[in-house]
Amino acid sequence: MNSSPRITLILGGARSGKSRHAEALALERFARPLYIATAANTDAEMADRIGRHRARRGARWTTREEPLDLAGALLNAEPACDGAVIECLTTWLANVLCTEDDAAYERRRDALLDALRVSTRPAILIANEVGLGIVPATELGRRFRDLAGWLNQDVARLADTVLFIAAGLPLTLKGAPSAERTTP
């Protein structure tokens, strides 16, 4: 496909259009895109949501569900896939915080950042920008918000391109705007 950034981070709020934008970029960039999904199928609503996402992507995509080991999913991905979309870092963070301890999160975060540094597979990562709202009322909520913000900063430092999506419209925060004109 065409020349493109190796790491792209797409940030935005809930229902901002992040996923559709990431998928459109992936279809422009990759002949065989890999979708690394972090959401766990925990209830009927989530199963329906996952089903709609899979149907929307279609047969060109390979999907791998990985709620915890993003580094392993990226480094050991299907060889036929020439680029990956990781959706989403924020869900992944929640998974880790709810199932493991702080030390495990730090190890997993460091492993993901290392994987992004060494992988030759281009990646588009999606994350929520949760720090734009109210201050959470609980300690866990504030910790989650802080960790999500710091994780987004860590990935943004590694990324060639960082986009912020609002109302389905991309705003380039880092990188060349001309390379990211896709509007689904």
- Parallel, antiparallel, or unpaired for β 169-174 and 161-166? antiparallel
Q: Which of 53, 107, 145, 174 is catalytic?
A: 53
Place of tokens 């935005």: 12
Beta-carbon contacts of residue 9 (< 8 Å; ≥ 6 apart):
125, 127, 152, 155, 156, 159, 161, 162, 163
The pLDDT assigned to 3 comes to 62
pLDDT per residue rounded down to tens, the chain (184 residues): 446 789 999 999 988 999 999 999 999 999 999 999 998 888 888 888 888 888 888 889 999 999 999 999 999 988 899 999 999 999 999 999 999 988 999 999 999 999 999 999 999 999 999 988 888 999 999 999 999 999 999 999 999 999 999 999 999 999 987 444 554 4
Name the region of 167 (left: φ>0; alpha: ψ -120 to 50; beta: rest).
left
Domain boundaries, the chain: 7-173
List, for residues 16-65, the tens digit of each pLDDT value. 999 999 999 999 999 999 999 998 888 888 888 888 888 888 889 999 99
Strand order in the sheet with 62-65: 62-65, 33-37, 83-87, 123-128, 7-12, 161-166, 169-174
Q: What is the pLDDT of residue 2?
A: 46
Predicted TM-score of the model (pTM):
0.91
Highest CATH level, class, for 7-173: alpha beta
Please list the residues that pair with 169 across neighbouring strands.
166
> How far is 180 from 184, CA to CA, in rounded Å?
12
User: Is 53 an active-site residue?
Assistant: yes
Distances (CA, A) of 177 to 3, 78, 123, 163: 14, 30, 18, 9
